[in-house]
Amino acid sequence: MPLPSSVLTRDSLLEIDHLFICVEAAVECSTLTDLGLTSMTEVLRRPQQGTASRSLFFENIYLELIWVEDEIAAQNHAAQSGIDFRSRAQPHNRASPFGMALRQTLDMSHRPFDLLPQPQDFNYSDTFVNFAAANLRLQNEPLCFVIPDAVSLIALLDRTSPIHQGLLNHAAGMKRLTRTTVTIDTTIQLTDSINMLQREGVIAVKPGALPLLELSFDEQVQQKMLDLRWLGIPLVLNY
């Protein structure tokens, strides 16, 4: 099922809710702390996927680092869903290790009425995640999917909570994501979903043999860079 084109017609009505990176090994909280990054101390485990993850929160997105803990469960999940976390975590497979969850923009006035669920009308169908079939099949590009507000950062983050406020406080000082650039192997034709996100300015795409996610924060006001590739994480933070 393609991403609904009706929500990408002007100043994109979609924006990034969260990103994930598939990595080969667990990422320790202390390692991230040493780099000036605050992360969840608890590891989130998804037994049905065979994965575990650690998340970092920012003002307008969160970033999830995912690794496989149960090979058999991950293999079964890949067969059932088409999402192969094992393959995406291994650079030699030429699969993109990235995923992008998209939400409707926070500007309510520009939301199509039929895509804006009202709280009183909420039911389990409102948690449906909309995958793009062609994108799901093509592993050389980031997985992208649309999520409802009920499972978005908006629902997860309580800005009045001291604990949640602490998660947004990074010693390195980055706060708000302002640009997302993804390096993709463009020798294979990209799907309409990725091209649409690029055209609407949600992401920028760079051609390259090695996958890389570059996140720019706060318009790079500090003019600093944090490169995590030495940790086996294909990620560069500019802030």
pLDDT confidence of residue 101: 95
Average pLDDT over residues 199-205: 95
Distances (CA, A) of 166 to 22, 232, 233: 25, 26, 24
Cα(160)–Cα(167) distance, integer angstroms = 12
At 185 the pLDDT is 87
Q: Which domains does the chain have, with CATH numbers?
A: 5-108+123-172 (3.10.180)
Q: How confident is the model at residue 92 (pLDDT cuts 50, 70, 90)?
A: confident
- Cβ–Cβ < 8 Å for 164, 158: yes
pLDDT for the residue numbered 140:
92
Q: Which residues contact 76 (CB under 8 A, 6 or more apart)?
A: 50
Task: Centre a 10 Å sphere on the Cβ of residue 223 and count the other Cβ atoms it contains.
Answer: 7
pLDDT digits (tens, 9 = 90+) for 128-167: 577 788 999 899 999 999 998 888 998 888 888 899 999 9
pLDDT tens digits for 174-191?
Answer: 999 999 999 998 888 999
- Over residues 24-70, the pLDDT tens digits come to 999 999 999 999 999 999 999 999 999 999 999 999 999 999 999 99
**pTM assigned to the model:** 0.85
| 13 confidence band (pLDDT: 50, 70, 90) | confident
Q: What percent of the chain has pLDDT over 70?
A: 85
67-85 tens-digit pLDDT: 999 999 999 999 999 999 9
Token pair in block for residue 88: 């995406």
Cβ of 42: how many Cβ atoms within 10 Å?
9
Tell me, what's the pLDDT at 106?
Answer: 64
Which residue has tokens 């390195």?
172
**C-beta of residue 168 within 8 angstroms of C-beta of residue 57:** yes
Distance CA 160, CA 171 (A): 20
